[in-house]
Amino acid sequence: MQTIRVNTPSARYNVYAGAGLLGSLAPRIARIAGRPPRRVFVLTSPPIWALWGDKFSSSFPEPPIALFLPAGEKYKTMTSVERLAREMVAAGADRSSLLIAFGGGIVGDVGGFLAAIFMRGIPYVQVPTTFLAQVDSSVGGKTGVNLREGKNLVGSFHHPLAVFADMDVLGTLPDRELRAGLMESIKAGIIRDRALVRFMEDRRADILHRDPRALEKVIADSIRIKAAVVGRDERESGLRMILNLGHTLGHAIEQATNYKALLHGEAVGWGMIAALHLAERRRTISGKEAERLVNLIHRYGPLPELKVNAKRLLAAAGSDKKNSGGVRRFVLPLGIGNACVIEDATDAELMDAARAMLAQARAAATK
């Protein structure tokens, strides 16, 4: 097991990554929480509870009170948060209660937000069960829900007491979810860690076969990168934005396909390919390095076909810009292991990058 420290101005906590954590949660949480909480709640979703609920509960002298969120982005809403808060009140929750979010990124975001606002804030613990949630969404304190008008429009920063990323739970994760989550690790490598890129190139088969040692290394390194960035820029006023490599066009793809055709990580995979093209044009990365990274992305695919056109993507990317005061921030790779945020990426450059990406997507589809 590896322990990664998160140090931000508003919180200090550990992320534990390794095997066998699920069966020993209660004593671990008790050590961290200090005074034992009067009531422990677990927010999860029915499929995850069916697979892992017994193991999860096994270390608790009294089983935590289970609250359920159905699987799917459409339940990541204020309505769900209100219903869950009312269920907590009915079950006797108070300010000394503890909430554990046990699930993928959706459960984590909703659970974190519920904990942030329930009685003006109660402590919570993240026990992420998807690869994406383990390496990305459970760390950093961003919580929230969607509105009909857009994703993650309501939320708050609320850090967990601790994060327990148990790799064993990934044993039941569908292959496609694993591959999509690994795109965020490739992203972490490109922006901050050349050695992680090399490791993912060399150990692809072991990683995709879920070899515990290889997986632990990728998970822990990805978390370390996120923790370091968040530690220096908790509220995303600058540096934290580099975690959005591939997300300008990635979000545009998700929006243009109504969040149905691709998983988030897959859209980010295509978005990184576009960003690498833009970087190659600006000569901040060599053709050889860009090609190496594009190959790596495809080797952790297959990335689904893209049934959108460049104009539609640019329009969607424009709404991203609207949300940040008219400034378009774009993450530009600088070789392998470094990146910066630029504000002067033009529509023409973005269009060119989107077209190059779509051409690749068409070529991949006819192969």
Would you please indicate which residues are annotated as catalytic (active-site) residues? 120, 142, 184, 226, 236, 240, 244, 247, 251, 264
Number of chain residues interacting with ligand NAD (CB under 6 A):
28
- Given its phi and psi angles, is residue 238 left (phi above 0), alpha (psi -120 to 50 degrees) or beta? alpha
Q: CB of 178: closest distance to ligand NAD in angstroms?
A: 10
User: Under the criterion CB under 6 A, does residue 109 sit at the interface with ligand NAD?
Assistant: yes
Q: Which is nearer to ligand NAD, 151 or 194 (CB)?
A: 151
Q: Of these, 18, 37, 64, 104, which contacts ligand NAD (CB under 6 A)?
A: 104
Other beta carbons within 10 Å of 359: 12
Q: Which is nearer to ligand NAD, 59 or 152 (CB)?
A: 152
User: Under the criterion CB under 6 A, does residue 185 sit at the interface with ligand NAD?
Assistant: no
User: Under the criterion CB under 6 A, does residue 173 sit at the interface with ligand NAD?
Assistant: yes
What is the Cα gyration radius of the chain? 20
Query: What is the C-alpha to C-alpha distance for residues 271 and 276, in angstroms, rounded to an integer?
Result: 9
User: Under the criterion CB under 6 A, does residue 169 sit at the interface with ligand NAD?
Assistant: yes
Query: What is the C-alpha to C-alpha distance for residues 21 and 55, in angstroms, rounded to an integer?
Result: 10
Q: Of these, 14, 77, 152, 338, which contacts ligand NAD (CB under 6 A)?
A: 152
| Closest C-alpha among 336, 119, 328 to residue 241 | 328
Q: Of these, 43, 88, 101, 133, which contacts ligand NAD (CB under 6 A)?
A: 133
User: Under the criterion CB under 6 A, does residue 76 sit at the interface with ligand NAD?
Assistant: yes
- Given its phi and psi angles, is residue 69 left (phi above 0), alpha (psi -120 to 50 degrees) or beta? beta
Break the chain down into helix, strand, coil percent, rounded to 5: 55, 15, 30
Q: For the segment 252-311, give every residue that binds ligand NAD (CB under 6 A).
A: 264
User: Under the criterion CB under 6 A, does residue 142 sit at the interface with ligand NAD?
Assistant: yes
Q: Which is nearer to ligand NAD, 263 or 308 (CB)?
A: 263
Q: CB of 170: closest distance to ligand NAD in angstroms?
A: 6
Strands (E) in the chain, as ranges, are 2-7, 12-18, 40-44, 65-68, 98-103, 124-128, 142-147, 150-157, 162-166, 330-333, 339-342
Q: Of these, 15, 136, 223, 257, which contacts ligand NAD (CB under 6 A)?
A: 136
Q: Which is nearer to ligand NAD, 266 or 289 (CB)?
A: 266
Query: What is the C-alpha to C-alpha distance for residues 99 and 62, in angstroms, rounded to an integer?
Result: 14
- Given its phi and psi angles, is residue 62 left (phi above 0), alpha (psi -120 to 50 degrees) or beta? beta
In the complex, which residues of this chain contact ligand NAD (CB under 6 A)? 45, 47-48, 51, 71, 73, 76, 103-107, 109, 129-130, 132-133, 136-137, 140, 142, 151-152, 169, 172-173, 177, 264
